[in-house]
Amino acid sequence: MAVPVNTDRNAQRSSNPDGSAAQAGTGTAAASRRGKPAYKVDLPNYHADCDANYLRLCKLMPELASNHSWRYRMPEGTLEVSVVERSRYTTEVSLQACAAENGSKHRTNWLNPPPITVRLYHDARMAEVVAVDGQGPVGGDGLNFRYPNPAMHNEDERQQVNRYLSEWLAHCLANGRADADIQLGGQRF
């Protein structure tokens, strides 16, 4: 049954378990009615992930002030890291994985990680994912979160992508080899 817009049923209020009132249909009230507690950001873990990402990226990008791109050979392909934007206190980089060519004419991108854009905050020594596959900001504005939402992002989307980046960078450091040209006696290796 359709309810007209200007009726008391649309403006009814529900109370949260803590006694505060909330508008019916908002994310917090809807979550409370389902018995699910409202999501709270785990800030210490989030910052720990961002700190670790900064340190790992600094290892992968030596001489960040003068270089613009790096390339690493991985067992399953290559990792390309390139500077997108530089400013006094931040640097934005793009990480792109490419599948190895297995002797075939077709390059397969099956199970390749999507391109990730990361902003490094040099004053805070933190790195945060700002876009995945060209879509950002990750997790919306972080203020007025409702689920479901048009992008179908989870409440902890930011934490998830930063944790993913952390695991991916650890894998790259453990298994990647710098792709560099070396010249000795006129021969290129």
Model confidence pLDDT, tens digit, residues 64-123: 888 999 999 888 788 899 999 999 999 999 999 887 765 545 555 556 778 999 999 999
Task: Please tell me the least confidently modeled range out of 78-92, 142-156, 175-189.
Answer: 142-156
Alpha helices in the chain (DSSP H): 27-33, 43-60, 157-175
Q: Which of 187, 168, 188 is nearest to 81 (CA)?
A: 168
pLDDT of amino acid 173: 92
Phi, psi of 60 (to 5 degrees): -75, -20
Distance CA 172, CA 28 (A): 39
In a domain, 51, yes or no: yes
Q: Which domain holds residue 155?
A: 41-179
In a domain, 140, yes or no: yes
Look-up: residue for tokens 């809807």? 30
Read off the tokens for 161.
């992508």
Per-residue CA distances from 153 to 44, 102, 118, 146, 147 (Å): 22, 35, 18, 9, 8
In a domain, 17, yes or no: no
In a domain, 67, yes or no: yes
Residues 6+ away with beta carbon under 8 Å from 132: 114, 115, 116, 117, 138, 161
Per-residue CA distances from 104 to 80, 98, 99, 108, 144 (Å): 21, 15, 12, 9, 48
In a domain, 101, yes or no: yes
In a domain, 11, yes or no: no
* N-to-C CA span, the chain: 75
Tell me the average pLDDT across 40-53: 90
Distance CA 138, CA 156 (A): 10
Mean pLDDT of the chain: 76
In a domain, 99, yes or no: yes
Domains in the chain: how many in total?
1
Q: With the C-alpha atoms ordered 112, 114, 119, 125, is the resulting torsion angle positive or negative?
A: negative
In a domain, 110, yes or no: yes
pLDDT of amino acid 2: 47
* DSSP β-bridge partners for residue 135: 132
